[in-house]
A and B are shown apart, each in its own frame.
Chain A
Amino acid sequence: MTFTRRQWAALLGMSPLLAQTPAPPAPEAKLEKANTDVREASKRLAEIEVPMDIEPAFRFSA
């Protein structure tokens, strides 16, 4: 016999709402999220078209 999370919660006297609260992400998941953010930023940068003759901004004066 299998129990749903809701049934486990009822058995253990927990509120069903609490049973639905997702567990905090594992540390590895947080690092993976940060890595995914970098990959997405890279993708977004790749989509920007820049003419070949534009050089990087190495000077920041007026």
Chain B
Amino acid sequence: MPKTKLDENSIAFATIGELSAALRNREISSVELTKLLGRRLEKLGPEYNALAYSLVKRGHKAAKDADFDLKHERFRSPLQGIPYAVKDLIAVADHPTTWGAKPFADQVFDEDATVVRRLASKQAILIGKLSMVELAGGGGYSSAAASLQGPGLNPWNKQYWSGGSSSGSGAAVAAGLVPFALGSETSGSIITPACFCGVSGLRPTYGLVSRHGAMALSWTLDKIGVLARSAEDCGLVLHAIAGGDDDDPGSAQKSFYYAPQYYENLSELKIAYAEIDFAEWPDEPLRPAFANALAVVKSIGVPMLESKLPDFPYGPLITCIIDSEAASIFERFIRTGRVDQLADQKQIDGLKASLNYSAVDYLKAMRVRTQIQAAFRTLFASVDLLVAPARLNLPDRADQPFDETPPKRPDRKGVVSGLVQAANLCGLPAISIPCGFVNGFPIGLQIVGRPFSENRILALAREFQRRTDFHKQHPPAWT
């Protein structure tokens, strides 16, 4: 076996492209890489409450197979031989899948989720399950502690939350424990931890990635996506996991080919944004950094148009839809009282109360959703992408209840207000990329596009990352 020439720090924070090149050039083997990252995941994962379950031993065998193929120059994909981990709502056969919740701590499925099978076919090496907010936050929750592993801690400052509900996925990538992780989003669960942890987080179009084998919270909203070191890496992983699946009734039966070369001419695109989103909507300390981020976007030379979102009550609508579908999915769990074993009282009460939505409420919300989708089709007739801050605030403390005091925001709305909910209601793809630092915490820029326009989103994100190095910065390395 060739001697490792790379040091631990550079490996821990390397991109998929860099690791793939190192594997093919025999600078490191997949077994060595799996050992090194596996050791970090098992040692450092618990320090961030990010590790739900280690699969490092299982990974060693897969790494040996990958090394065999690499040695014989049977190159399968850029992910070949590269370790990764998944949010603990994605099933891995014969190992616990807890959904982050104590009542499901002993749950074991006998089949891998489709995304796990797809990554195995590319010889990516699964080395762990990552912590999450219990039941992906269905019913609402009051603090970071709403998780089987305890509060997700932010690698940039362990006193603060890593975001949710894909808490461990964000923290594990940020801390250099895995180069990429899978997460899921119903409304904000990829964008938020990606933003708070300073990694790139891609939420694909609804139906592009199979959810077969993943916990359902809301059939019409759930998506599986990627958290990684760069937009480029998100594209490479999406390429591997996307595609039709008859086992997922929500599947769009579409493939995704990562083709950055087709979107090089960004000047032909039109970006919608609102100055007010960057200058007045964020908490005050974040505004200068967001102003800089907007200046970088403008410097790319893409035509930019002032815009605003169609006016709908996105928050109550998406809450009604998530709660109604979750109430149906977890009905037995709620009615039998097992729900009382959850960690977060607000979540317990929220799930119980969600049984009280009527069919008329749900269908009304879904009919308004039709109107929202029509309004977004009209908006996207004249623009290609929406750009806004990913989050308007820094993370809450991990050891205290969330501050639920409504923050003071301007009366006038631009794009950012309700964007996460609106885009999820319409099934739109989005990415959050690091775009600055405030008080030692990363902040994120959100790019949203039409359904199935992931290549276009990634093209702009990649250009932003070509001009900045926020995505290359990482918390102090732990060895």
Contact = CB atoms under 8 A, between A and B. Distances in A.
B307 interface: no
Given A57-B369, A60-B373, 10 more contacts: A34-B353, A38-B353, A39-B356, A45-B365, A54-B367, A58-B366, A60-B207, A60-B451, A61-B451, A62-B450
Interface string A37-62: 11101101110101000111110111
7 contacts: A33-B349, A54-B371, A60-B250, A61-B206, A61-B427, A62-B205, A62-B452
Nearest to A33: B349
B165 interface: no
A53 to B, nearest CB: 10
A26 B428 CA distance: 41
A56 B451 contact: no
Interface string B369-396: 1111100000000000000000000000
B349 A30 contact: yes
Contact of B364 (A30, A46, A60, A61): A46
Nearest to A45: B364
Q: How large is the interface on B (under 10, 10 to 19, 20 to 34, 35 or more residues)?
A: 35 or more
B352 interface: yes
A31 B250 contact: no
Interface of A: 27, 30-31, 33-35, 37-39, 41-42, 44-46, 48, 50, 54-58, 60-62
Interface of B: 205-207, 220, 250, 252, 313, 316-317, 319-320, 323, 345-346, 349-350, 352-354, 356-358, 361, 363-373, 426-427, 450-452
B353 A35 contact: yes
B427 A38 contact: no
Contact of A60 (B220, B317, B371): B220
Contact of B369 (A44, A56, A61): A56
B367 A30 contact: no
Given A38-B354, A44-B313, A62-B451, A56 B367 contact: yes
B350 A34 contact: yes
